Amino acid sequence: MKILIVGGGMGGTILANNLARRLTNEMKSGKARITMLSASDKHMYQPGLLYLAVGRITPDELYRDQASLLEPGINFHVDPVEEFMMDNNQVKTKSGKIFDYDIMVIATGSRMFPEGIPGMVEAAETFYTEESALKMFKRLHSFEGGKVLITVGVPHKCPMAPLEITFMLHDYFKDRGILDKVQLHYTYPIGRVHSLENVAKWAAPEMDKLGIKYDTFFNIKEVDGANKVVRSEEGVELGYDLLINIPVHKGMEVLEKNGMGANGWIPTNRTKLNMEGRTNVFVCGDTTNIPISKAGSTAHFEADTLGENIAAMVKMGTPVREYDGKVFCFIEAGKDRATYAMFDYKNPPDPKAPTKAVHWFKMAYNKLYWVSARGLL
């Protein structure tokens, strides 16, 4: 059975390794073959960008060679897919090669799309790529005071990022000794400071305590860079000296071009994780249109489910379990305290007060990630 994994990010990598270990014998006997197609020979630890933006890690710490993360026997090609021919169980890559599959998993992730808001690209700093995070840090480094406005586009990757960057900016300016010259102003699209009600109940008093101003029901309409104001769909206008934006995200362009789903999000069954209308095509991570967090942990838990199911399909012809919507997110509450939120389709999170212990566990996880990507944690 030919298993094709499209995408070498967190979800695709964990899944490939998970499958390779479950199907060791089948791979040796030639009954199963795992192929991964990726756009890059490097693997980035994307959550590290948050720390890069405030000068807490350096770019080299974000990367490993993708091939070094994969189990032996996985056929890895740096050759991104350009055309999906699902009626023939084939894809065509950038190099022009055709790959056949019996089972395909699409895990191509998401990309920031600040271009969707007029004026945003020119005016705002962000941290969703290495380049933008470095640019943001250099801007912060030279910032001497004024109003820092944080805006949040929808949908976005990493639901905790708006809160985390706000609290981390507070501590960054405090450490630089210029907090008294900085006014942090947080905004959020819905009627509380976070989509998770219990997280909002924790975060709003934290902001009050730290002197961080916040406005809710603020959906960005446009940025007027010349006058340094952001206008919302709700008719509110807020000024800034430094604009930090959590950008709108889209799925990958190749998926849009192939008509796989609006804005590059593939319609996906929320428990079976198959692409709607296809029984041998599965979707993992940010790429789905499932209404849950676009986060590394989502991709991780989905990959665990898919690993078990696809291995079972090879061995006995049928999947064995369903994805329950599990998500786990650390929440940095500054430079040295953190908490976390864990939830699924049925159970909301109940975050506890931030502690130094959870922060240091997150710091440890930033290193342990490479074990996680290998599918061992």
Partner 1 sequence: MADKKIVDGRGSFCPGPLMELIVALKASQIGDELEVLSTDKGSASDIPEWLNKVGHEYISTTESEGVWHINLRKSK
Chain contacts with partner 1 (rule: CB under 8 A): 154-155, 159, 189-191, 195-197, 217, 219, 233-235, 262-263, 270, 291-293, 325, 327, 341, 343, 345-346, 348-349
CB of 269 to partner 1, least distance (A): 12
CA nearest 213: which of 230, 178, 188? 188
Exposure of 141 by Cβ count < 10 A (0-12 exposed, 13-18 middle, 19+ buried)? exposed
Cβ proximity to partner 1, 116 vs 145, nearer residue: 116
Cβ proximity to partner 1, 219 vs 355, nearer residue: 219
Q: Is 32 helix (H, G, I), strand (E, B) or coil?
A: coil
Residue 160 has what DSSP assignment?
T
CB of 271 to partner 1, least distance (A): 10
* DSSP assignment string, 168-228: HHHHHHHHHT-GGGEEEEEE-SSSSSSSSHHHHHHHHHHHHHHT-EEE-S--EEEEETTTT
Residue 138 one-letter amino acid? K
CB of 348 to partner 1, least distance (A): 5
CB of 189 to partner 1, least distance (A): 6
CA nearest 92: which of 71, 77, 110, 107? 77
Residue 268 has what DSSP assignment?
B
CA distance 265 to 111: 11
Cβ proximity to partner 1, 22 vs 249, nearer residue: 249
CA distance 314 to 310: 6
Cβ proximity to partner 1, 48 vs 261, nearer residue: 261
CB of 66 to partner 1, least distance (A): 29
CB of 119 to partner 1, least distance (A): 17
CB of 181 to partner 1, least distance (A): 33
Length of the chain (residues): 377
CB of 199 to partner 1, least distance (A): 8
CB of 127 to partner 1, least distance (A): 19
Cβ proximity to partner 1, 83 vs 233, nearer residue: 233
Cβ proximity to partner 1, 196 vs 230, nearer residue: 196
Cβ proximity to partner 1, 245 vs 293, nearer residue: 293
Residue 148 has what DSSP assignment?
E
Measured on CA atoms in the order 60, 61, 65, 68, is the torsion positive or negative? positive
Structure-block tokens of residue 69: 């993360």
CB of 373 to partner 1, least distance (A): 23
Cβ proximity to partner 1, 50 vs 179, nearer residue: 50
Residue 357 one-letter amino acid? A
CA distances (Å), origin 322, targets 64, 273, 287? 31, 8, 18
CA distance 280 to 228: 50
CA distance 308 to 304: 6
Give the alpha-carbon dihedral of 225, 230, 233, 235, to 10 degrees. Answer: -120
Cβ proximity to partner 1, 8 vs 351, nearer residue: 351
Neighbouring C-beta atoms of residue 211, cutoff 10 Å: 12
Cα 78 versus chain centre, distance = 21
